[in-house]
């Protein structure tokens, strides 16, 4: 059975369970624990796969003198896609009727939300470089830095490094197959995630004040992911069928939406890029790590949309063109700073926008706390779809792809 079919069936079962079971505090607490557990299962083999696959990919690209050209193409795509997605989301939000108001929630304690940029920079270079391999697997950028230097080190002297190269390559393939086993059981795991998601969604609908925002973000995500982004692939030469790429991205999209976690979805992305799209490891691994680290355009767009809705709900002065551009610039900058927040990027992006805007909106993100799971889901979904399309485009432009028919997609 196709991976996306397993995930679709599992998520459908979870949604049905979430919508029909009665409200129960003890059940909710159990689902919270189960959610944390299954996210750990999904991330279990990620770090070793990335360390060895990325190291050997960097080594192979450097041998062919194609590493920096590929990185440059990725960053050009990251910048252009981020600008487009954020601007499109903000533009659509400005036409949203502002006749409704989101009620102010009274919270006993306001979360201290910070991106901790300085701490994240320090984490890139710990006192012991091997300590990054013993981390919790949340902030993966230090792992990528370690893999980068390992990949460079493999190129130092082939006389001495040849046995190590073979070992690293073998370990990359071994851990890839271990990760593939966990991907095969995601159909069962996703039941827990989608069930808890459906319970929270039901509660958000019952509140009756978030409906317009839910519809707006839902329509935006569908139009972007299933309409506009695939059309960009028409510019690639020779011409391809963009809907085949969309079909191959369904598995990661489902996993991202119900988990809301980039790290949970990354193994699924890596496997689909190789086995469905035919992207060679040296290109797919580098592109996906760069996009999931630096291109959180979906999460930033969701945060910008939610922030404008908050302002339109509680400000009678409206939003000027200068303020709109300032929000665009802040959202663009924040999209590059969410690497340490793989599971709640939209939440932290919204908090950063509120704090940066000031004027009494510093704690504005608290207003949308009951809907935060939905914002995170939409953001992760778009982040993963962008990463999937962009990694395919980069591989196609660089010649690192062996096209496969849709019948051979996993």
Decide: 269 and 293 in contact? Cβ < 8 Å.
Answer: no
Residue 99 has pLDDT above 90, yes or no: no
Q: What is the pLDDT of residue 96?
A: 67
Q: What is the pLDDT of residue 108?
A: 45
What digits encode the pLDDT tens for the residues 277-301?
889 999 999 999 999 999 999 999 9
What digits encode the pLDDT tens for the residues 146-187?
999 999 988 877 777 888 999 999 999 999 999 999 998 988
> Which tokens hold the place of 332?
């663009």
Give the mean pLDDT of 99-112.
56
Residue 86 has pLDDT above 90, yes or no: yes
Residue 100 has pLDDT above 70, yes or no: no
The rounded distance, in Å, linking the Cα atoms of 186 and 282 is: 26
Residue 22 has pLDDT above 50, yes or no: yes
Q: What is the pLDDT of residue 109?
A: 46
Residue 308 has pLDDT above 80, yes or no: yes
Residue 98 has pLDDT above 70, yes or no: no
Beta bridge partners of 279: 401
The rounded distance, in Å, linking the Cα atoms of 101 and 315 is: 10
Q: What is the pLDDT of residue 105?
A: 59
What digits encode the pLDDT tens for the residues 339-379?
889 988 899 999 989 888 777 777 778 888 889 999 999 99
Q: What is the pLDDT of residue 270?
A: 93
The rounded distance, in Å, linking the Cα atoms of 330 and 346 is: 13
Domains defined along the chain, listed by start: 3-408 (1.10.3860.10)
Cβ-in-10-Å burial (0-12, 13-18, 19+) of 404 comes to middle
Residue 196 has pLDDT above 90, yes or no: yes
The rounded distance, in Å, linking the Cα atoms of 365 and 350 is: 6
Decide: 367 and 310 in contact? Cβ < 8 Å.
Answer: yes
């Amino acid at each position: 059975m196709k991976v996306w079919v397993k995930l679709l069936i599992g998520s459908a079962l979870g949604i049905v369970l979430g919508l029909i079971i009665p409200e129960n505090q003890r059940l909710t607490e159990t689902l919270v624990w189960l959610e944390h557990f299954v996210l750990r299962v999904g991330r279990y083999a990620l770090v070793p796969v990335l360390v060895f696959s990325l190291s050997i990919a960097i080594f192979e690209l450097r041998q062919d003198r194609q590493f920096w050209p590929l990185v440059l193409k990725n960053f050009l795509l990251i910048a252009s896609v981020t600008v487009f997605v954020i601007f499109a989301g903000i533009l659509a939000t400005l036409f949203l009727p502002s006749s409704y108001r989101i009620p102010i929630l009274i919270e006993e304690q306001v979360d201290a939300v910070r991106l901790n940029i300085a701490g994240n920079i320090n984490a890139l270079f710990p006192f012991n470089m091997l300590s990054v391999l013993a981390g919790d697997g949340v902030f993966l950028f230090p792992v990528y830095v370690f893999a980068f230097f390992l990949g460079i080190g493999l190129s130092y002297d082939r006389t001495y490094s040849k046995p190590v190269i073979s070992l690293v390559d073998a370990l990359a393939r071994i851990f890839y197959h271990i990760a593939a086993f966990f991907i095969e059981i995601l159909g069962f795991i996703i039941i827990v995630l989608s069930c808890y998601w459906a319970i929270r969604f039901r509660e958000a609908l019952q509140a009756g004040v978030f409906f317009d925002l839910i519809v707006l973000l839902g329509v935006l995500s569908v139009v972007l992911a299933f309409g506009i982004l695939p059309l960009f692939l028409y510019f690639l030469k020779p011409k391809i069928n963009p809907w085949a790429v969309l079909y191959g991205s369904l598995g990661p999209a489902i996993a991202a939406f119900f988990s809301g976690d980039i790290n949970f979805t990354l193994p699924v992305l890596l496997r689909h890029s190789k086995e469905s799209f035919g992207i060679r490891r040296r290109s797919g691994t580098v592109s996906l790590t760069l996009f999931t680290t630096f291109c959180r355009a979906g999460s930033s767009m969701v945060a910008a949309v939610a922030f404008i809705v908050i302002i339109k709900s509680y400000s009678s002065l409206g939003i000027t063109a200068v303020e709109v551009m300032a929000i665009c610039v802040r959202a663009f900058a924040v999209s590059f700073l969410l690497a340490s927040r793989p599971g709640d990027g939209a939440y932290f992006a919204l908090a950063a926008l509120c704090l940066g805007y000031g004027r009494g909106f510093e704690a504005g993100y608290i207003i949308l706390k009951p809907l935060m799971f939905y914002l995170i889901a939409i953001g992760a979904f778009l982040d993963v779809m962008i990463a999937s399309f962009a990694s395919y485009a980069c591989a196609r432009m660089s010649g690192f792809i062996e096209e496969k028919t849709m019948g051979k997609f996993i």
